[in-house]
């Protein structure tokens, strides 16, 4: 169905909104909201109607609903003040009030087989049917089920638009040209793969391709047993989604870096900030914050930018980089709370904000519950598992912290998530397993040599083992990064025995112990 209102054209089947000749980029949920309003334009729809019709009855906060309505208004060149297209009726609901006509000429053009879709501004992917290399028709169910699980896992990544199974499976059994698939479906990326069975073992291969130029971005092989088919499908799907998320973020950041700085939207600014943040040097964090402030100025409801900006201010406090630590602390907490308000359904935002708020004294049990909720929204988020692990470390549960952080590593072993090995190393330290701690902390320093935390735990390890020369050498390197050997917020460790162990090790390493 192709509908016209004002200078906008809404193509429901192709999931496109155009303003004149321009393709308007929309998050999938905002597009669904707009379609629901247009289809129900003859009546006022209540909040309960929207939650049931767009969110499938899931719990949605008022702020999240308002954010999506504002995004829909912005997409159709409307505003809360004007309400020319989407009107709010106090205590009743909302109604789509613009005049809508079905455009038969556009409908016919949309049906033309040679029409290529214009790429949206946000990342998009199609998962093609995996090839059954055995040729046994009875094994088709496994290959198809594998693809369905991957589509489901990828669909939990909020910033990624995933083509539905019905569209991608039209290519089943065909020899495909990846570039043409990208044009046909309007996607930037294509995931393809194959399945081969031998006895009770199965090998699954997958590769991620940039559909614009055919470049291979990632490839991996997974081997498993068919004893539990569904568990194998779940594990492979989670692993694929866990690796693809950071791979696509890196590809999108490179794409954004090639754009002129005068043509940056909130998403582009966020991507650039993410790309420069992870060395976590003072200069990198300040540069990232500048880009994030641009993103927030463009869209003050952009949850990922708010959460990462909160993390920047947290670093300023933790590493004594802030000229005014009290103001930096207030900004970190305020931004994290705002992020939770506007992105209450974004798992990465929830987990990140929960960790930041816990660092600054919020109830650790409540924040751990928030992080656990984030993992139910996206179990394939390596970043979510890392944040949950960090919270467990803070809560005095080092063994659980190790378990959660290792899941993060399994999901995305190459992702630039600063601190995963630090969480594991620190947890071994708090359990007095100093040798294991040192091994992990040295790995952490290879990943993030400008991150002060692994230096502190490493120095404390050496000191408790009586290796004071090595401890003092680590302290010397630490002081080139931050003036404080002892962190200013030691209370983030809620367990008093853990705090004392850590503080004593640092004092011994710094030569300050009595």
Average pLDDT for the chain: 84
The most distant pair of C-alpha atoms in the chain lies apart, rounded to whole Å, by 85
pLDDT of res. 113: 42
Residues 6+ apart with CB under 8 A from 291: 269, 270, 272, 273, 276
Handedness of CA 234, 420, 384, 216 (dihedral sign): negative
Asked if pLDDT for residue 117 goes beyond 80, the answer is no
CATH superfamily for 263-362 is Tetratricopeptide repeat domain (1.25.40.10)
End-to-end Cα separation, the chain, in angstroms: 78
Residue with the bigger pLDDT between 220 and 287: it is: 287
Quote the crossing angle between the two packed helices 140-155 and 229-257, to the nearest 10°: 50
Q: E strand or H helix at 237, and its extent?
A: helix 229-257
Say how many C-beta atoms besides its own lie within 10 A of residue 148's C-beta.
Answer: 16
pLDDT in tens, 334-388: 999 999 998 888 888 999 999 999 999 999 999 999 999 998 888 878 888 999 9
Average pLDDT over residues 103-119: 45
The full set of domain ranges for the chain reads 2-110, 124-255, 263-362
Q: What are the tokens at 413?
A: 């072993």
> CATH number of the domain at 2-110, please?
1.10.10.10
User: Whose structure tokens read 């059994």?
Assistant: 173
- 124-255 and 263-362 agree in CATH topology: no
Single out the residue of 198, 237, 199, 205 nearest to residue 220, CA to CA.
205
Q: Is 391:427 a contact under the CB 8 Å cutoff?
A: no
Residue % of the chain over a pLDDT of 70: 89
pLDDT in tens, 162-172: 887 767 888 88
> CATH number of the domain at 124-255, please?
3.40.50.10610
HEC assignment per residue over 364-376: HHHHHHHHHHHHH
Say how many C-beta atoms besides its own lie within 10 A of residue 99's C-beta.
Answer: 9
Single out the residue of 338, 388, 339, 346 nearest to residue 367, CA to CA.
388
CA 53 from centre of chain: 25
Distance CA(65)–CA(35), nearest Å, equals 15
Rg of the chain's alpha carbons, rounded to an integer?
25
pLDDT in tens, 437-494: 999 999 999 888 888 899 999 999 999 999 999 999 999 999 988 888 888 767 789 9
> pLDDT band at 122, cuts 50/70/90?
low
What CA–CA distances, in Å, run from 354 to 277, 298, 384? Answer: 19, 25, 10
Q: What is the pTM of this model?
A: 0.64
**Which of 135-139, 405-409, 490-494: highest mean pLDDT?**
405-409
pLDDT in tens, 248-291: 777 776 766 655 544 457 777 888 888 788 778 889 999 999 99
């Amino acid at each position: 169905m192709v509908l016209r209102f004002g200078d906008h054209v809404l193509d429901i089947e192709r999931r496109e909104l155009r303003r004149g000749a321009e393709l308007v980029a929309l998050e999938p949920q905002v597009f669904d909201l707009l379609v629901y309003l247009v289809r129900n334009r003859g009546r006022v729809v209540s909040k309960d109607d929207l939650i049931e019709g767009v969110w499938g009855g899931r719990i949605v906060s008022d702020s999240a609903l308002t954010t999506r309505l504002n995004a829909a208004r912005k997409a159709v060149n409307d505003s809360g003040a004007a309400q020319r297209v989407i009107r709010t009726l106090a205590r009743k609901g909302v109604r789509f009030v613009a005049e809508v006509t079905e455009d038969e000429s556009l409908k016919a053009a949309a049906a033309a087989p040679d029409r290529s879709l214009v790429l949206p501004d946000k990342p998009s992917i199609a998962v093609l049917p995996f090839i059954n290399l055995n040729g046994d028709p009875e094994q088709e169910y496994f290959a198809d089920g594998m693809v369905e699980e991957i589509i489901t896992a990828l669909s939990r990544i909020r910033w990624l638009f995933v083509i539905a199974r019905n569209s991608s499976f039209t290519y089943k059994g065909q020899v495909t040209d990846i570039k043409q698939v990208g044009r046909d479906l309007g996607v930037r990326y294509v995931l393809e793969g194959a399945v081969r069975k031998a006895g009770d073992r199965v090998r699954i291969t997958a590769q991620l391709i940039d559909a614009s130029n055919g470049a291979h971005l990632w490839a991996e092989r997974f081997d498993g047993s068919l004893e539990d088919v569904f568990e194998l499908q779940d594990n492979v799907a989670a692993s694929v989604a866990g690796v693809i998320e950071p791979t696509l973020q890196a590809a999108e950041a490179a794409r954004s870096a090639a754009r002129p700085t005068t043509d940056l939207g909130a998403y582009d600014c966020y991507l650039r900030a993410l790309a420069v943040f992870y060395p976590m040097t003072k200069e990198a964090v300040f540069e990232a914050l500048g880009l994030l402030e641009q993103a927030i100025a463009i869209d003050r409801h952009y949850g990922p930018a708010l959460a990462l900006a909160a993390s920047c201010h947290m670093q300023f406090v933790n590493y004594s980089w802030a000229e005014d630590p009290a103001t930096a602390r207030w900004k970190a907490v305020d931004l994290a709370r705002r992020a939770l308000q506007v992105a209450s359904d974004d798992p990465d935002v929830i987990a990140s904000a929960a960790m930041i708020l816990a660092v600054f004294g919020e109830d650790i049990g409540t924040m751990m519950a928030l992080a656990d909720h984030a993992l139910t929204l996206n179990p394939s988020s390596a970043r979510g598992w890392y944040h949950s692990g960090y919270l467990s470390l803070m809560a005095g549960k080092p063994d659980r912290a190790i378990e959660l952080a290792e899941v993060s590593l399994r999901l995305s072993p190459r992702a630039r998530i600063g601190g995963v090995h630090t969480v594991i190393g620190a947890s071994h330290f708090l359990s007095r397993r100093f040798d294991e701690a040192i091994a992990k902390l040295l790995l952490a320093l290879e990943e993030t040599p400008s991150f002060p935390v692994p230096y502190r735990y490493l120095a404390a390890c050496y000191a408790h083992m009586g290796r004071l020369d090595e401890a003092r050498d680590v302290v010397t390197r630490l002081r080139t990064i931050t003036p404080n050997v002892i962190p200013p917020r030691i209370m983030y460790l809620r367990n008093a025995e853990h705090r004392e162990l850590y503080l004593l090790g640092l004092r011994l390493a710094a030569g300050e112990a009595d």
